Structure 1
Amino acid sequence: MAIHIIIDGYNLIRQSSDLARLDRQDLQLGREALVDLLAAYKKIKPHKITVVFDGAGQPSLYGSRERAKGITIRYSQGGESADDLIRRMARKEKTKALVVSSDREVMAAAESAGATVMDSPSFEEKVAMASYLAIKGDGETVDSRGWVPTTRKKGPSRRLSKRKRKEKARIGKL
């Protein structure tokens, strides 16, 4: 199943130390740095990515809906916040969506719509790890010992709920 990553753009920028520094210099510089970071991530993991910015009453370089470097960029229109747009997109995408935001209201609304949620610092960490592993390699070693007997019991009592297992699988794809 394909994942559609919906990102609260300014939230992620301001939660990241590197992007926040660029954002303080110039708002457009911060947005471009985020799009560059996501474009590099998209080359490693080809998920559909949409970044949502507050754009009410603001002219933008990209327009209200644009694609740059394979990333869909959306700006909220007048009278609507980026949070409202993210909530609406999460309701539309349901279980296919992974919403990245540290805003509790957005996370709760997306989760109630059936989407998987992740806070901004965790997503930034996943992106950094993916780029590190792409450069370094997976680093997985094959255990040649084969099966090792164990007395550890496994079974339904240790099993996550079906919903939690699906969320874990979606996050694992990052």
Structure 2
Amino acid sequence: MAKILIDGYNLIGIAHRDLKKARQNLIERLIDYRKIKGHDITVVFDGYKEGTGKETCEHIGGIRIIYSGAGEKADDVIKRIIKQERSFFIVISSDRDIEKSAWRENCVAIDSSLFSDILDGEEFCFESPKGVTLSKKEKAVKQALMKLI
């Protein structure tokens, strides 16, 4: 079982007519994924525009859902969780700053598009060309992806 920390809007994108519906759809997909894989999943969304102004946390279907508070973005919450919880996370985001923070705290960063493909049931090939040695970071990503699929 892996601990997965997801940058919610980064994963779904922001080009949706109904962002609330897109967010709910992602949460439902994560619940289904969790039922199959059993991973500990936290998804973080910017909540300061719609919410109460305070950071909120709820649990739905075994998924921890956090909405950032006023004056704080989801990115800030993700970085804080990585730093404070001192746990190995597979961090799902395409944001370079979050990726850097994840690697700095000995977590593995996986691009949102790769994780989206996993949720969609896409097939992956992990074969490296003969004679090519993977870097330490590439090996860590490969191991993390193997846990996710």
On the 8 A contact 1:65/1:74 being kept in 2, the answer is yes
Give the match for residue 4 of structure 1. Answer: 3
Equivalent in 37, 61, 64 of residue 56 of structure 2: 64
SS at match of 1:72: strand
In the TM superposition, what is the alpha-carbon distance from 1:68 to its structure 2 partner?
A: 1.1
In the TM superposition, what is the alpha-carbon distance from 1:127 to its structure 2 partner?
A: 1.8
**Runs of 5+ in structure 1 lacking a partner?**
133-152
In the alignment, structure 1 residue 171 sits paired with structure 2 residue 135: no
**TM-score normalised by structure 1 residue count:** 0.70
SS at match of 2:66: strand
- Following the alignment from structure 1 to structure 2, what is the Cα–Cα distance between the partners of residues 53 and 171? 23
Equivalent in 86, 91, 96 of residue 88 of structure 2: 96
In the TM superposition, what is the alpha-carbon distance from 1:158 to its structure 2 partner?
A: 4.6
SS at match of 2:119: helix
In the TM superposition, what is the alpha-carbon distance from 1:160 to its structure 2 partner?
A: 5.2
Identity of aligned residues (%): 38
Which digits, 9 at most, give the CA deviation of each residue in 1:117-174, with x for residues without a partner?
Answer: 01111001112227x8xxxxxxxxxxxxxxxxxxxx99xx95754x654443222111
On the 8 A contact 2:92/2:112 being kept in 1, the answer is yes
Matched pairs, number: 140
**TM-score normalised by structure 2 residue count:** 0.80
CA RMSD of aligned residues (A): 2.6
On the 8 A contact 2:51/2:69 being kept in 1, the answer is no
In the alignment, structure 1 residue 42 sits paired with structure 2 residue 34: yes
Q: Which amino acid aligns with 1:67?
A: H
Higher radius of gyration, 1 or 2: 1
In the TM superposition, what is the alpha-carbon distance from 1:90 to its structure 2 partner?
A: 1.7
SS at match of 1:96: coil
On the 8 A contact 1:87/1:106 being kept in 2, the answer is yes
Give the match for residue 149 of structure 1. Answer: none
Q: Which amino acid aligns with 1:13?
A: I
Q: Which amino acid aligns with 1:83?
A: D
On the 8 A contact 1:100/1:123 being kept in 2, the answer is yes
- Following the alignment from structure 1 to structure 2, what is the Cα–Cα distance between the partners of residues 158 and 68? 42
